[in-house]
Homo-oligomer: A and B are copies of this chain.
């Protein structure tokens, strides 16, 4: 409901600029496939590649070309987007044999939309720029469904000129894109958002347990929260499953805790004291220590539960 409204409110242009160049797309995982499909559906010409090439078949049926290697894709396309599963995969498409570096050059741009750490991002950025190419990191907020619906939030950072060129594609992939300055800022912005989210999940969990032990219905608390100033999609979405002790991992707790740790480390670098985030981080660590790391991050709820009658 809210999300629908938000789409309208940011007023994303859906008509494609006809001048847009062919776009390369590396990585046909859940996210990458949905994103490439969106580009195709909106009139872009797309050349795709995936380590297991068969994963490109579906896209091919919908009109995509297929490249034999990252280098082949870059050779053919002025702009190439990567959406890889993790830092090693993100590094591999750049540095390995048949990788991006073999063909990237002045006038060509690489946009890495994978979620990677700052160091990985810097390494790729430096290598691409050393070859004369342009680079943009552009991690996204949102998972499978928003990717399919073109409703991602894109946190881009790096070369401003490349950002401006690729905006028509971002308009199709997301409901909003931001240009955040130098490489690394995209990753940092994600950390800040996830840190706030992690603290909120803890505050929410504490409230649910407090309600329950004080003789109030957690279900009613959800209803009350949903009508007030702190109503938000996360409470609405996670609350009902949490009170049923169901923690299907949309975002694994151990990853949330890792992001808290990295955000706290960023705060440490900048002498920012964050006692609430620190307390939340320790709660997530407590959850890990009891074996909840692979469940959804909302499973932190479990550690606040009271297991004995109050003295």
Which residues of A does B touch, CB under 8 Å? 1-2, 5-6, 9-10, 141-142, 153, 155, 175-176, 178, 180-182, 185, 188-189, 192-193, 195-197, 199-200, 202-204, 206-207, 209-211, 213-217, 220-221, 223-234, 237, 254, 261, 263, 265-283, 285-286, 288-291, 293-294, 304-308, 310-311
CB-nearest residue of chain B to A182: B215
CB contact under 8 A between A196 and B203, given known A6-B227, A10-B227, A279-B276 = yes
Which of the residues B189, B214, B289 comes within 8 Å of A307, measured between beta carbons?
B289
The answer to whether A176 touches B310 (Cβ under 8 A) is: no
The answer to whether A289 touches B272 (Cβ under 8 A) is: yes
**What 6 A-B pairs have minimum CB-CB distances, sorted nearest first?**
A199-B203, A291-B308, A273-B286, A232-B232, A213-B270, A271-B310
Chain B residues with Cβ below 8 Å from A279 are 275-276, 278-279
In the bound complex, how far is the Cα of B274 from the Cα of A304, in angstroms? 7
Which of the residues B9, B185, B188, B210 comes within 8 Å of A272, measured between beta carbons?
B210
Copies per complex?
4
In the bound complex, how far is the Cα of B275 from the Cα of A306, in angstroms? 14
The answer to whether A229 touches B233 (Cβ under 8 A) is: yes
The answer to whether B6 touches A175 (Cβ under 8 A) is: no
CB-nearest residue of chain B to A252: B311
Which of the residues B176, B221, B261, B272 comes within 8 Å of A213, measured between beta carbons?
B272
CB-nearest residue of chain B to A221: B192
Chain B residues with Cβ below 8 Å from A9 are 1
The answer to whether B273 touches A227 (Cβ under 8 A) is: no
A300 to chain B: closest CB distance in Å? 10
A227 to chain B: closest CB distance in Å? 5
The answer to whether A175 touches B291 (Cβ under 8 A) is: no
Chain B residues with Cβ below 8 Å from A281 are 278
A304 to chain B: closest CB distance in Å? 7
Chain B residues with Cβ below 8 Å from A237 are 229
Chain B residues with Cβ below 8 Å from A308 are 271, 288-291
In the bound complex, how far is the Cα of B286 from the Cα of A304, in angstroms? 8
In the bound complex, how far is the Cα of B279 from the Cα of A168, in angstroms? 44
9 A-B residue pairings within 8 Å (CB atoms): A142-B228, A178-B223, A181-B215, A196-B207, A199-B200, A214-B270, A279-B279, A289-B308, A291-B307
CB contact under 8 A between A230 and B232, given known A211-B192, A272-B289 = yes
Chain B residues with Cβ below 8 Å from A273 are 282-283, 285-286, 289, 304
Chain B residues with Cβ below 8 Å from A304 are 272-274
Chain B residues with Cβ below 8 Å from A2 are 2, 5, 231
